């Protein structure tokens, strides 16, 4: 099977410092892939290279068999890759409905009627329907995260890239989010690429985990394999995290 997303020897320098070093990565359609690692490991840089915010210094990136290396974000978005940001940034003076609608306005895959129907479905799905006319700047953190997620999904992308969605959520909210992503994958046929620090969520949700450390790929495999890898424990997890994720 041909990978939906494929990175071949992807390297990114900032000045003389390598943020990514020869990253090889293959993600299949309908997979949930977690990208984990300590702060500064290169996780968000990898996201930014794949979705066109940064151009790689070397290497190639393929999406659905097409070379997308160096294409700008709006072109990659039109091909079917959407993302959320680590810190949600809704348009504060627009309503929840307007924020989510904006996420699909530039796609060529949906006409206006279909787009509006999808926005309504997403607001219901994410529990935001009753706040659809509220200004987004009045929402709490969890609600802002949901608006950003709905906005990324409004265009019905093939791939959803999620940057630390669980950060700042309490235990019950994390459990709700895990189930939400499972439902979204099933209902939308999504491939989800997901940067995360909440290891218990990674263990219960991801099909496969890629671990980055200092810009290089340290390990890759199923969650239960990765959390027991001694190099991963030493570089990132620690014994306590392993114990907690094993009991999740």
pLDDT at 242: 47
pLDDT at 240: 46
pLDDT at 86: 83
Burial of 180 (0-12, 13-18, 19+ CB in 10 A): middle
Question: Tokens in use for 48?
Answer: 């930014």
Positive or negative: CA dihedral 147, 152, 208, 49: negative
pLDDT at 29: 95
Report all structural domains of the chain as residue ranges with CATH numbers, in order of start.
Answer: 1-80+158-248 (3.40.50.300), 88-157 (no CATH)
Cβ atoms of 74 and 19 within 8 Å: the answer is no
pLDDT at 98: 96
pLDDT at 233: 80
pLDDT at 198: 87
Cβ atoms of 37 and 219 within 8 Å: the answer is no
User: Residue holding tokens 């209902």?
Assistant: 187
Three-state DSSP class for residue 66: strand
Question: Tokens in use for 124?
Answer: 């219901």
Full-model pTM: 0.89
pLDDT at 239: 46
pLDDT by position in tens, the chain (length 248) = 579 999 999 999 999 999 999 999 999 999 999 999 988 899 999 999 999 999 999 999 999 999 999 999 999 999 999 999 888 889 999 999 999 999 988 777 778 888 899 999 999 999 999 999 999 999 999 999 999 999 999 989 999 999 999 888 889 989 999 999 999 999 989 999 999 888 889 989 999 999 999 999 999 999 989 888 888 888 776 544 544 555 55
Q: How far is CA 133 from the centre of its chain?
A: 27
User: Residue holding tokens 């006319």?
Assistant: 133
pLDDT at 246: 52
């Amino acid at each position: 099977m041909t990978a939906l997303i494929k990175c071949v020897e992807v390297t990114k320098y900032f000045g003389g410092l390598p943020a990514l070093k020869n990253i090889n990565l293959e993600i299949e359609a309908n997979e949930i892939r977690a990208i984990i690692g300590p702060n500064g490991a290169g996780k968000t840089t990898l996201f930014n290279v794949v979705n066109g915010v940064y151009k790689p210094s070397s290497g190639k990136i393929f999406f659905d068999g097409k070379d997308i290396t160096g294409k700008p974000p709006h072109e990659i978005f039109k091909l079917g890759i959407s993302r959320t940001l680590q810190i949600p940034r809704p348009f504060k003076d627009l309503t929840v409905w307007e924020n989510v609608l904006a996420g699909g306005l530039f796609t060529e895959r949906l006409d206006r009627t279909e787009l509006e129907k999808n926005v309504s479905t997403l607001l219901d799905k994410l529990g935001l329907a009753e706040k659809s006319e509220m200004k987004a700047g009045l929402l709490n953190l969890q609600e802002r995260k949901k608006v950003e997620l709905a906005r990324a999904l409004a265009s019905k992308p093939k791939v959803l890239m999620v940057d630390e969605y669980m950060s700042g959520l309490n235990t019950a909210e994390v459990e709700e989010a895990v189930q939400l992503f499972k439902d979204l994958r099933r209902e939308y046929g999504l491939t989800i690429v997901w940067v995360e620090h909440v290891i218990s969520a990674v263990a219960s949700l991801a099909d496969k985990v890629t671990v980055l450390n200092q810009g290089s790929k340290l390990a890759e495999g199923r969650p239960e394999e990765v959390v027991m890898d001694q190099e991963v424990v030493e570089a990132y997890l620690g014994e306590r995290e392993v114990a907690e994720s094993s009991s999740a």
